[in-house]
Amino acid sequence: MRHKRHQQNIAMPGMCGTCPVRRLALFQPLSEEEVAATQGYRVDTRVVEPGGAVFRQGDSSAEVYTLFDGWAFLSQRTADGGRQILEFLLPGDFFGLQPGRFGDARIHSAHAITPVSLCVFTYSGLMEMFKEHIDLGMRLTWMTARDEAIAHEHLVSLGRRSARERIAHLLLELFHRARSRRQDPEPGSTIDFPLTQEHVADACGLTKIHVSRILSALREDNLLVWRAKELTIPNPARLAAVANYSHDLAASRPIL
Amino acid sequence: MRHKRHQQNIAMPGMCGTCPVRRLALFQPLSEEEVAATQGYRVDTRVVEPGGAVFRQGDSSAEVYTLFDGWAFLSQRTADGGRQILEFLLPGDFFGLQPGRFGDARIHSAHAITPVSLCVFTYSGLMEMFKEHIDLGMRLTWMTARDEAIAHEHLVSLGRRSARERIAHLLLELFHRARSRRQDPEPGSTIDFPLTQEHVADACGLTKIHVSRILSALREDNLLVWRAKELTIPNPARLAAVANYSHDLAASRPIL
DNA sequence: CGCGCCGTTGAGCCCGTTCAAAAAGTGTGG
DNA sequence: CCACACTTTTTGAACGGGCTCAACGGCGCG
C-alpha cells in the first residue's frame, strides 16, 4: 500500500476535552465541560489516504466533519472532465455542510491531499448541539460566513486578476492560513506544503503548464522557494504587493 | 432628480407580520407572533436609488439587511480599477453579514441596480434574536451556506467555463431565482431584468465588449430575448445544455 | 533498473482583450 | 413633440495572455 510511512505519522483525534485544534474549530466557544459533551455527538473518527475521497459528488449527505490532521480540498468536476478546486481544508476546518435537506446528493467532492484524520458528526447531532449551545450556532454561522468571504476573494482572483497575481494570492492565503494554525508564534517563513502544481492550477482556473511557467518566474524574482513539499516566502510583504493581497481573512477573529 | 418615476413605484416594507417576502427570507421559520416581535429589532427601513450604495468597502459594519424590493449586488474593486460582482441580490435576500467583529471595515460594497427598499437590523439585534429563536439561527446558517454554494458555482464558471457557458449560466441562475420569488406559479418565461451588459461582464470576469458579442450569438441561436429590461428564455432546457447548468440552487429548500 | 508521476521547455494557435468609433436607447428640458 | 446629452450596445481590427500539443528531464518507489 502506498504512503504507508505517512499514514503512521498522522495524528489521530483523542478526547475532545483536550483537543489541540479546538481553538481553531467550531467548538472553540464551548467550555471544557460542554466540549466534553460534544464527544457524545462525535459518531466516528476516520482516516483517508492521499487521493482518497471523504465524499463524492452525488453521495448522500448525512455527515459533517472537522478536519483533525492533514490537508484536503473541496472540488467540483465539469462535464468535459475539468476540475475546479473550491477550497483547501486545513486542520480545524469544518466542512460538509450544504444547503438542501439531509441526505440530498452532495454537490461537491472532498479529497485528501496528505493522509487525513477526521472527526465525524451526523447532521442531526449537529442540530441537537445547536439547540443546546446557542454559541455553537453563532460560531457555525461565523465560520460559514468566513468561508463565503474566502470564496468571494477567490472570485475576485479568477475574475479580475492575472495568472501571476492569482498564484501569488493563493500561495499567500495558504501560507497565512497554515501559519495561523501553529501553536508556536515563531515567525519562520517556511510551511509544509503538500500540494502539486496541478492543485494550484485547478484552484486558480489555469493550466498546470502555465502554472509551472509562472512559478519559475516568481522563483526567478526571489519571491518564493517551493521544493520538497515545503514552501518558503522570504518576504511576504513583497509577494503581497505582487498579488494585490488586501484583506487577510486567515487572521480574522470570530465575532464572539 | 433622476429616476423619479421609478422611485414612486417601489414597494415599501410595512408590518413584519404581513410581510410578503417573508416566505423567502431569514424570518420564514417564525410564527406570526414571533415575526411580529422581530419588528422591534428592525431599526429602520431605507430606500437607495439606482447606482447608490447601501454600504462601501471600508465602511464600518454595524448593520445587516433584508432586501425588500428591487435588485442590488455585492462587489469588490481591484487596485487597477476593475470590478468583480460577487453576488446579485433579489427580494428576500439577506446580506451584510461578514466575518470579523462588529464595526470592522466592510470588505465588499453593496450597490442598488434599481431603486431598492431595505429592512435594516443591527448586528446586536440580530444576535439577540438568535438567542431567543434558535430556528432563526439555523435559518441564517442555512442561508449563508446557500450563498456559499452559489459562490462556489460561480467559481466553477470563472475557473473552468467558456464565456458562452458563463453567460448562459448566469442568466439561467438569475432567471430561476427571479421566478422562484413570484407568488404566481404561472410559468411565463419572461422576467424583469434590470441589469446592463456591464453588470454581466463584471460578474462573469469578462469585458462588456465580449459580452455584447456573445449575447448576439445567443440571440442568433434563439436561446434568449433580452430587450427593454426584460429577459425571455423560450426554452430553458436548451440554454441549460449550453451552460452545463447542473444543480439548481435557486430551487433548494431550507433544512427546516 | 525501469516505471509512473511530476515538472519543465518549446512552438503555434485561439479566445478574449484593447483601442477606436459609430449607432441605438433613454431620460431631460424646451 | 422634438432636440440634446449621456449611457449603453454594437461593430471592426489588431494584439496578447494563456492554452494546446508534444517531447523531454527528474525524482521516488518497487
Lowest mean pLDDT among A136-150, A206-220, B56-70: A136-150
**How does pLDDT run across B165-191, given as a tens digit for each residue?**
999 999 999 999 999 887 666 677 899
Contacts of A142 in chain B (CB under 8 A): 99
Q: pTM of the prediction? A: 0.92
| A207 CB below 7 A from strand D atoms | yes
Strand D interface, A 142-181, C-beta < 7 A: 162-164
Under 8 Å CB-to-CB from B37, ≥6 apart: which residues?
A: none
> What distance in Å separates the CA atoms of residue A210 and residue A197, rounded to the nearest whole number?
10
- pLDDT score for B186: 64
pLDDT bin (cut points 50, 70, 90) of residue A20 is confident
Q: Which of B83, B100, B158 sits opposite A158 (nearest CB)?
A: B158
Residue B40 has pLDDT above 50, yes or no: yes
Lowest mean pLDDT among A141-145, B36-40, B177-181, B213-217: B36-40
Residue B243 has pLDDT above 60, yes or no: yes
| B81 CB below 7 A from strand C atoms | no
Q: Which nucleotides along chain D are within 7 A of a protein C-beta?
A: 7-13, 17-22, 28-30
Please compute the mean of the pLDDT values over residues A175-184 and round it to a whole number.
Answer: 84
**Among the ranges A32-46, A185-199, A231-245, B2-16, which has the highest mean pLDDT value?**
A231-245
- pLDDT score for A8: 52
Beta carbons of B151 and A155 less than 8 Å apart = yes
**How does pLDDT run across B72-105, given as a tens digit for each residue?**
999 999 999 899 999 999 999 999 999 988 889 9
Q: Could you tell me which chain B residue has the CA closest to the CA of A137?
A: B137
pLDDT bin (cut points 50, 70, 90) of residue A253 is low
Per the structure, the residue whose CA is closest to nucleotide C19 at C1' is B209
By C-alpha distance, which of A142, A135, A177, A146 is closest to A255?
Answer: A142
DSSP chain A: -TTHHHHHH------GGG-TTGGGSTTTTS-HHHHHHHTTTEEEEEEE-TT-EEE-TTSB--EEEEEEES-EEEEEE-TTS-EEEEEEE-TT-EE---SS-TTPBPSSEEEESS-EEEEEEEHHHHHHHHHH-HHHHHHHHHHHHHHHHHHHHHHHHHHH--HHHHHHHHHHHHHHHHHHT-SS----SEEE----HHHHHHHHT--HHHHHHHHHHHHHTTS-EEETTEEE-S-HHHHHHHHT----GGGPPP--
Contacts of B83 in chain A (CB under 8 A): 160
